[in-house]
Structure 1
Amino acid sequence: MAIHHGHRILPTCIFLFCGLVCINLAMAPEVFADTRISGSLKSYLVLQDDINISGRTILENQTQLQNGIRVIFDHVQEHYALEVHYELSSVLRRLSTNDISLSTMPVQREAYRITDRDGTLASQADWAIFGNLDRANIKWQRDWGDLTVGRQPITFGAARIINPTDVFLPFNHQTLNTEYRIGVDAIRLQRPLGTLSELDIGVILGPDADPNVSAAYMQVMVHAAGNDLSMTIAQFSNHELLGVGTQSAIGQLGFWFEVAAVSGDDSYMRLSTGVDYAFNEDWLFMVETHFNSAGAESANDYGQIRGSAPFRRGEVYLSGRRYLIPVLSWHLSPLAAISVQSIINLSDRSAFTSLTATRNVTQNGHMDVGIQWFTGDTSNFTPTFNLQAGSEFGDSPTVVFGSARWYF
């Protein structure tokens, strides 16, 4: 993408400077015995097709260069550990709309952070720079367990693809950079209950630590007779969640099951279950089914439910009710792999499919190329210019991407 305007020099210079800093850190990653600085450089070139409904262009095609630098500081002592992650990212774009974001970018929400002053550091019509203090926590390690205070990732779930109990800022299905889960501000106690068993209790704080927008949870994980069992209870945004899950084996098949019921102003239930099978050391197949009672049976109702609380908070991002999700992975070599995944809406017969190829080019360098495409009935305008929805995925534009990642 050519740079024609002087104001683009700013993001370019910032990233060149940060890149030089990262190279220096890579040459000497250990500051002293118990402290380490590491991180990554990532760049995504994303091309998104236009969106047309009834011959009208709703959104023109877009091209973006998404760059990111994450610096990780870890300090470990006998009884405590300190962790800080800071991510600086930029977006250079060529498009004709005012929206700098694409659906492939992680969504940064203010929920479950006491304060988040970084956000957009600088922006113009065709570029923006973002800052994100994604981790900042201290962990006390004792015989009775670990106590972690500060910004940290918190994830739940036994399922492989869609986790019904995972309600604290999960990634959506189109996000490309999913290596690090978005950090939340929490106080967390993890106490071992035996071999591979644990009690996990936490409080997650929202903006200004307001109890009305904060959350609390307790999860018990038990390993028994070769099975991993979990039970989760949580309270968030005037809602209560009760969930259970298991991971096990049935012969040569891996098996998982997870269900969560949420009660409150918007009550709903979600369930995921599936199996995987390794044909050999190179080929792996898995299939998961997902039920989402927060969704709708008819495409005409998708617009209404997308404005409901579960969608606004982010724990639900699929609009339909019943899904089939097959995945096939092929390891061409120890350094290269190809995977294909589809999310099929069984109600309206639309589908989201992604094909990704990954290769290690150096010890610390990786490259990816891929495509996301969508099938299904498209929407149309009636003679009175009312929008008649076609399907969940039918209107979504094709996305082609390539990425380079380097770790230090």
Structure 2
Amino acid sequence: MSFLEDGFFSANSQRLDLAKTFPTDLKVNLALDNLLLYSDQPTQVTLPADSFNRRFDLEQNWNRNEQWSDRLSVDRLSLRGSYRNLDWTIGRQAIGFGRIVIFSPLDIVAPFAPDAIDTDTRPGVDAVRGVHYFGLGGQVGGTIVFGPETSDNSYLLTLTDNRSGVDYLGIGGILRDREMAGIGFAGSLGTLGIKMEASHYRGKNVGLPGGDLHDDFT
């Protein structure tokens, strides 16, 4: 709970996590999130908008833009399995790229807001993902994230490899109809950890209402 300049507001969340592992190396995850809001000024604190990374409508809102409002959502609903050096997951799941905690340029699918307070639980997205592991900490993966429309889908390839104690990261593909590529590395100099990441995008609908500001941006 907190106070705004012209009123009081309160945000309360509850979460239920369930997981079941089967003898066949299959794991089912289910999580329900409930967000209850109160605000003296109804339009100052509102329920979250629909996600661009969810194809299926598994949310229910009550009293949006009222003093009391509530949202119940399915935040996880996934099936995960493995075969030799391959892991795969299908369904609503958490996906995060990059190694920088506060703000990662490679964390492109559902990043936390820069001013986010609760970063313990990453929002789930509707996706199919496969990762193949090789060598010492190496992995190559493919991810498809499904949005409300086909133009909101993302198709991404990722690569991680470790050379001489340094992790090298790479990502490329289509992010919601935008071509993109990113690189990064994570290592240490003595007791000092060093991380660097960057990503580059081709703009979408540049110059149009709701479009990007530039043809290319990094």
Please tell me the TM-score bracket, short chain as reference. 0.7 to 0.9
Aligned to 1:88: 34
Match of 1:169 among 104, 110, 115: 110
Uncovered stretches (5+) of structure 2, i.e. residues with no partner: none
Give the match's secondary structure for 1:212: helix
Aligned to 2:101: 160
Q: CA deviation at 1:91?
A: 0.6
Distance 2:191 2:85 in 1: 37
Distance 2:194 2:205 in 1: 30
Equivalent pair of 1:100/1:128 in contact (CA under 8 Å): no
Equivalent pair of 2:112/2:119 in contact (CA under 8 Å): yes
Equivalent position amino acid for 1:100 in 2? V
After superposition, the CA RMSD in angstroms is 2.6
Equivalent pair of 1:248/1:256 in contact (CA under 8 Å): yes
Aligned to 1:98: 43
Identical counterparts, % of pairs: 19
Residues 149 and 246 of structure 1: is their aligned pair in 2 closer, same or farther, counting only changes over 3 Å?
same
Written as runs of structure 1 = structure 2, the 5 A alignment for 1:202-351 is: 202-207=143-148, 210-265=149-204, 308-309=211-212
Give the match's secondary structure for 2:43: coil
Residues 138 and 258 of structure 1: is their aligned pair in 2 closer, same or farther, counting only changes over 3 Å?
same
Distance 2:16 2:27 in 1: 17
Deviations 1:11-39 (A, max 9, x none): xxxxxxxxxxxxxxxxxxxxxxxxxxxxx
Equivalent pair of 1:100/1:127 in contact (CA under 8 Å): no
- Flag the structure with higher helix content: 1
Distance 1:108 1:179 in 2: 20
- Does residue 150 (structure 1) correspond to residue 67 (structure 2)? The answer is no
Residues 91 and 200 of structure 1: is their aligned pair in 2 closer, same or farther, counting only changes over 3 Å?
same
Match of 2:80 among 127, 134, 139: 139
Q: CA deviation at 1:47?
A: 2.2
Deviations 1:71-119 (A, max 9, x none): 0110012310000010112012223x53432xxx8x4433111122424
Equivalent pair of 1:187/1:203 in contact (CA under 8 Å): yes
Q: CA deviation at 1:266?
A: 6.6
- Does residue 70 (structure 1) correspond to residue 15 (structure 2)? The answer is yes
Deviations 1:248-282 (A, max 9, x none): 11233111100111114378xxxxxxxxxxxxxxx
Uncovered stretches (5+) of structure 1, i.e. residues with no partner: 1-44, 51-60, 268-303, 311-315, 322-408
Equivalent position amino acid for 1:70 in 2? R
Distance 1:150 1:258 in 2: 28
Residues 100 and 119 of structure 1: is their aligned pair in 2 closer, same or farther, counting only changes over 3 Å?
farther
Deviations 1:159-182 (A, max 9, x none): 332211222121212222222111
Give the match's secondary structure for 2:172: strand
Equivalent position amino acid for 2:168 in 1? L
Distance 1:248 1:128 in 2: 45
Larger radius of gyration: 1
How many pairs were matched up?
Answer: 214
Distance 1:86 1:174 in 2: 24
Aligned to 1:405: none
Give the match's secondary structure for 1:195: coil
Residues 248 and 138 of structure 1: is their aligned pair in 2 closer, same or farther, counting only changes over 3 Å?
same
Give the match's secondary structure for 2:151: helix
Give the match's secondary structure for 2:157: strand
Residues 203 and 174 of structure 1: is their aligned pair in 2 closer, same or farther, counting only changes over 3 Å?
same
Residues 94 and 238 of structure 1: is their aligned pair in 2 closer, same or farther, counting only changes over 3 Å?
same
- Does residue 47 (structure 1) correspond to residue 3 (structure 2)? The answer is yes
Equivalent pair of 2:204/2:211 in contact (CA under 8 Å): no
Q: CA deviation at 1:120?
A: 1.2
**TM-score, with normalisation over the residues of structure 2?**
0.87
Aligned to 2:55: 114
